[in-house]
Amino acid sequence: MSKLLSAIEKAETIAIGGHVRPDGDCIGSCMGLFRYIKKNYRDKQVCVYVEEIPDAFDYLKEEDAFCEKPSYDLFISLDCGDEERLGDAQKVMEKTPYVLNIDHHITNTKFGNETVVKEASSTCEILYGLMEEEKLDAGIASALYTGIIHDTGVFKHSNTTKETMEIAGKLIAFGIPFGKIIDDSFYRKTYKQLQIMGRCLMESVRIMDGRCLFSIVRQNVMKLYEAKPSDLDGIIDEMRTTEGVEVAILLDEREPGEFKVSMRSNEIVDVSVIARYFGGGGHVRAAGCAIKGSAFDVINNLTGHIEKQLG
Beta strands at 205-207 and 212-217: parallel, antiparallel or unpaired? antiparallel
Nearer to Mn ion, 79 or 233 (CB): 79
Nearer to ligand 5GP, 289 or 299 (CB): 289
Contact 71, 13 (CB under 8 A): yes
Q: How far apart are the first and last CA of the chain?
A: 47
280 contact choice in ligand 5GP, Mn ion, none (CB below 5 to 8 Å, kind-dependent): ligand 5GP
Closest distance of CB 200 from Mn ion, Å: 23
> Angle between the 123-130 and 3-10 helix axes, to the nearest 10 degrees?
70
Q: Residue 160: CA atoms inside 13 Å, Cβ hemisphere, count?
A: 15
Q: With contacts defined by CB under 5 A, name the span among 10-18, 151-159, 176-184, 274-282 that binds Mn ion.
A: 151-159
Phi, psi for residue 18 in degrees, rounded to 5: -120, 180
For residue 237, give the nearest of 187, 279, 300 by alpha carbon. 187
Closest distance of CB 27 from Mn ion, Å: 10
Closest distance of CB 308 from ligand 5GP, Å: 20
Q: Is 39 helix (H, G, I), strand (E, B) or coil?
A: helix
Decide: is 151 part of the binding site for Mn ion (CB under 5 A): yes
Nearer to Mn ion, 107 or 266 (CB): 107
140 contact choice in Mn ion, ligand 5GP, none (CB below 5 to 8 Å, kind-dependent): none
Closest distance of CB 119 from ligand 5GP, Å: 13
Beta strands at 258-265 and 247-255: parallel, antiparallel or unpaired? antiparallel
Q: Is 99 helix (H, G, I), strand (E, B) or coil?
A: strand
Closest distance of CB 193 from ligand 5GP, Å: 15
Nearer to Mn ion, 258 or 270 (CB): 270
Q: Judged by CB under 5 A, how many residues of this single chain contact Mn ion?
A: 5
Chain-centroid distance of CA 184 in Å reads 17
C-alpha dihedral (195, 197, 199, 203), degrees to nearest 10: 180
112 contact choice in ligand 5GP, Mn ion, none (CB below 5 to 8 Å, kind-dependent): none
- Distances in Å between the alpha carbon of 82 and those of 40, 151, 302? 29, 18, 22
Mask 19-48, x = binds Mn ion (CB under 5 A)? ------x-----------------------
Decide: is 233 part of the binding site for Mn ion (CB under 5 A): no
Interface ranges with ligand 5GP (CB under 6 A): 19, 81-82, 85, 105, 107, 262, 280-283, 286-290
Give, for 129, the enclosing helix (H) or strand (E): helix 123-130
Q: Is 170 helix (H, G, I), strand (E, B) or coil?
A: helix
In the list 11, 24, 79, 250, the residue contacting Mn ion (rule: CB under 5 A) is: 79
Closest distance of CB 70 from ligand 5GP, Å: 30
Q: List contacts with Mn ion (CB under 5 A).
A: 25, 79, 122-123, 151
